[in-house]
């Protein structure tokens, strides 16, 4: 490893020699002085070079001629630098409050072009989203785009802190499956030696297996796949799912309590570490949500939406995207909150493994978490009684024999349990007021995008 200093650490150093490395953001090539803005993964710094346009012919001392020639070469190198070239510079750090960029600069002593960039950059600030996605590695050099993934790192680290503190076990479930984990409607089928396999839509079955294994509580952050031909701003064919499953719960209320604790911890960490940068680059003041989050049964929420003048046009019992926006607007007005749990969904629109209400099998112990008008998660208490589970599968028109490997989990004892799955990119999109999960996904995958 080189002995370079990260830009973010320069301010704490005294004046003196330093080495910095990064890519060229801008070059101002003036007659007597040159300025280069160098950016690395931590920030940007101004480099300055007193320009030498020719070697003074009156110089006779070999050392003086060599020094002037080296300065001329550096000047010519800087003049030829293209945006995006990666360079290493050694020079003298100087603190100067007149310098607008961080109050310091580095006077160049030597400059090495590590890799030269093509002079014509394929994307610009006004390029379309699709064009930027074509050149994602260049798009991610922008401080705003890079900050998204620093925020993601902080957010997930905070969630992992809660999970670990509570004694949950991290698992990595397989993404190749012999059968569907949700529904066959959105299933990717792949060749698997002499047979077929399917890309996992969710780690659901394997999270539940961990409860039967006596793990007590598990979490996973990993990929999930949906063969959904949607082109909306919130759908992807491959996405990162944040999943938790816990044992010995009394109802879905226990799952919601953990869910909101995780959200609050994540937001607190992001605000503490990145709040100022978010305000500067995204123009928003991110706040930490208060607990408890509002909870509204779905039937009541639909009535509230209807009273606001919007009748949900769906023929099933679910809420639609406009309905989610309407109920979020109501919650913001009534409670001043950006989150709301919609609870007690109809069994007709929930998976067979969701536990149904005692005394009212038409409803389930389940919820959706809505954030700023968009669903980010579904959670529920699971049905753990094998006879009930088999019957509910039959009610959904499923053949229990095709679910044998899953049903076996429940034949040898399993505690009451529940959990949730949450789309990471959606959370970040809404947190940062972005318009598409393409912005908050490192490399987006959709119906028409498999590259880069």
Same domain, 46 and 16: yes
Token pair for 376: 């980010």
- Contacts (Cβ under 8 Å, ≥6 apart) of 364: 344, 345, 346, 347, 350, 354, 355, 356, 357, 380
Q: What percent of the chain has pLDDT over 70?
A: 98
Same domain, 369 and 278: yes
According to the model, what pLDDT value does residue 232 have? 86
Q: Is residue 445 in a domain?
A: no
Q: Would the annotation count 424 as a binding residue? A: yes
Q: Is residue 345 in a domain?
A: yes
Q: What is the pLDDT of residues 419-435, one digit of tens each?
A: 999 999 999 999 999 99
Check: CB of residue 244 under 8 Å from CB of residue 159: no
Q: Is pLDDT of 157 > 70? A: yes
Q: What is the pLDDT of residues 250-293, one digit of tens each?
A: 999 999 999 999 999 999 999 999 999 999 999 999 999 999 99
Rounded Cα–Cα distance for residues 159 and 157 (Å): 5
Per DSSP, the residues of 138-157 read HHTTSHHHHHHHHHHHHHHH
Same domain, 183 and 326: yes
Q: Would the annotation count 423 as a binding residue? A: yes
Rounded Cα–Cα distance for residues 166 and 283 (Å): 35
According to the model, what pLDDT value does residue 183 have? 62
According to the model, what pLDDT value does residue 126 have? 92
Mean pLDDT of the chain: 94
Same domain, 138 and 97: no
Q: Would the annotation count 333 as a binding residue? A: no
Q: Residue 131: count other Cβ atoms within 10 Å of its Cβ.
A: 13
Region 328-339: what's the mean pLDDT? 98
Q: Is residue 213 in a domain?
A: yes
Q: What is the pLDDT of residues 58-115, one digit of tens each?
A: 776 777 777 778 888 899 999 999 999 999 999 999 999 999 999 999 999 999 999 9
Which CATH number fits the domain that encloses residue 342? Answer: 3.30.930.10
Q: Would the annotation count 378 as a binding residue? A: yes
Range list of β-strands (E), 96-201: 104-115, 169-170, 176-177, 189-192, 195-199
Rounded Cα–Cα distance for residues 235 and 223 (Å): 14
Q: What is the pLDDT of residues 293-302, one digit of tens each?
A: 999 999 999 9
Same domain, 167 and 281: yes
Q: Would the annotation count 375 as a binding residue? A: yes
According to the model, what pLDDT value does residue 67 have? 76
Q: Is residue 83 in a domain?
A: yes
According to the model, what pLDDT value does residue 101 have? 94
Rounded Cα–Cα distance for residues 409 and 212 (Å): 6
According to the model, what pLDDT value does residue 231 have? 86
Q: Is pLDDT of 186 > 90? A: no
Domain count, the chain: 2
Rounded Cα–Cα distance for residues 372 and 365 (Å): 23
Same domain, 134 and 104: no
Check: CB of residue 25 under 8 Å from CB of residue 39: yes
According to the model, what pLDDT value does residue 98 have? 93
pTM: 0.93
Q: Which residue has the tokens 């999930």?
A: 224
Element (H, E) at 370: strand 366-371
- Residue finishing a domain among 115, 150, 177: 115
Q: Is residue 124 in a domain?
A: no
According to the model, what pLDDT value does residue 400 have? 92
Region 298-316: what's the mean pLDDT? 93
According to the model, what pLDDT value does residue 54 have? 76
Q: Would the annotation count 224 as a binding residue? A: no
Element (H, E) at 426: helix 424-431
According to the model, what pLDDT value does residue 402 have? 86
Which CATH number fits the domain that encloses residue 56? Answer: 2.40.50.140
Q: Would the annotation count 182 as a binding residue? A: yes
Q: Is residue 1 in a domain?
A: no
Q: Which residue range forms the structural domain that includes residue 111? A: 7-115
Rounded Cα–Cα distance for residues 334 and 355 (Å): 30
Same domain, 435 and 292: yes
Q: Is residue 121 in a domain?
A: no
> CA angle, 195 as apex, 190 and 200 as ends, to 5°?
40
Same domain, 247 and 157: yes
Same domain, 231 and 142: yes
Same domain, 239 and 374: yes
Rounded Cα–Cα distance for residues 355 and 363 (Å): 9
Same domain, 105 and 152: no
Rounded Cα–Cα distance for residues 74 and 92 (Å): 15
Same domain, 371 and 227: yes
């Amino acid at each position: 490893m080189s002995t370079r200093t990260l830009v973010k650490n320069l301010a704490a150093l005294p004046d003196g020699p330093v080495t910095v490395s990064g890519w060229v953001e801008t070059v101002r090539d003036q007659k007597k002085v040159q300025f280069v803005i160098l950016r690395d993964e931590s920030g940007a710094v101004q480099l300055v070079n007193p320009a030498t346009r020719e070697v003074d012919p009156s110089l006779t001392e070999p050392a003086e001629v060599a020094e002037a020639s080296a300065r001329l070469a550096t000047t010519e190198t800087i003049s030829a630098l293209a945006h995006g070239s990666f360079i290493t510079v050694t020079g003298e750090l100087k603190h100067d409050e007149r310098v607008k960029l961080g109050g310091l600069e580095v006077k160049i002593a030597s400059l090495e072009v590590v890799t030269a960039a093509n002079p014509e950059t394929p994307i610009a600030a006004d390029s379309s989203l699709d064009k930027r996605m074509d050149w994602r590695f260049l798009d991610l050099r922008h401080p705003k785009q890079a900050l998204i993934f620093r925020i993601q790192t902080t957010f997930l680290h905070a969630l992992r802190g809660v999970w670990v503190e509570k004694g949950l076990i991290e698992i990595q479930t397989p993404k190749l499956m012999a059968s569907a984990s949700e529904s066959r409607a959105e299933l990717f089928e792949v060749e698997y030696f002499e047979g077929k396999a399917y890309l996992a839509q969710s780690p659901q079955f394997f999270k539940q297996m961990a409860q039967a294994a006596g793990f007590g509580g598990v979490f996973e952050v990993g990929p999930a796949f949906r063969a959904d031909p949607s082109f909306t701003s919130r759908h992807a064919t491959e996405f990162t799912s944040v999943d938790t499953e816990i044992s010995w719960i009394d109802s879905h209320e226990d799952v919601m309590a953990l869910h909101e604790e995780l959200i609050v911890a994540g937001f607190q960490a992001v605000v503490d570490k990145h709040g100022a940068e978010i305000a500067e680059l995204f123009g928003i003041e991110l706040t930490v949500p208060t607990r408890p989050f509002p909870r509204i049964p779905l039937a009541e929420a639909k009535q509230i939406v209807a009273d606001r003048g919007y009748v949900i046009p769906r023929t099933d019992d679910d809420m639609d995207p406009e309905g989610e926006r309407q109920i979020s607007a109501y919650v913001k007005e009534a409670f001043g909150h950006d989150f709301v749990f919609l609870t007690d969904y109809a069994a007709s629109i929930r998976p067979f493994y969701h536990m149904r209400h005692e005394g009212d099998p038409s409803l389930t112990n389940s919820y959706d978490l809505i954030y700023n008008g968009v669903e980010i998660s579904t959670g529920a208490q699971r049905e753990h009684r094998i006879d009930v589970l088999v019957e509910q599968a039959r009610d959904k028109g499923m053949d229990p024999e095709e679910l044998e490997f899953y049903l076996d989990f429940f034949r040898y004892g399993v505690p009451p349990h529940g959990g949730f799955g949450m789309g990471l990119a959606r959370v970040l999109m809404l947190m940062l007021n972005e318009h598409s999960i393409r912005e908050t996904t490192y490399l987006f995958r959709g119906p028409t995008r498999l590259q880069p």
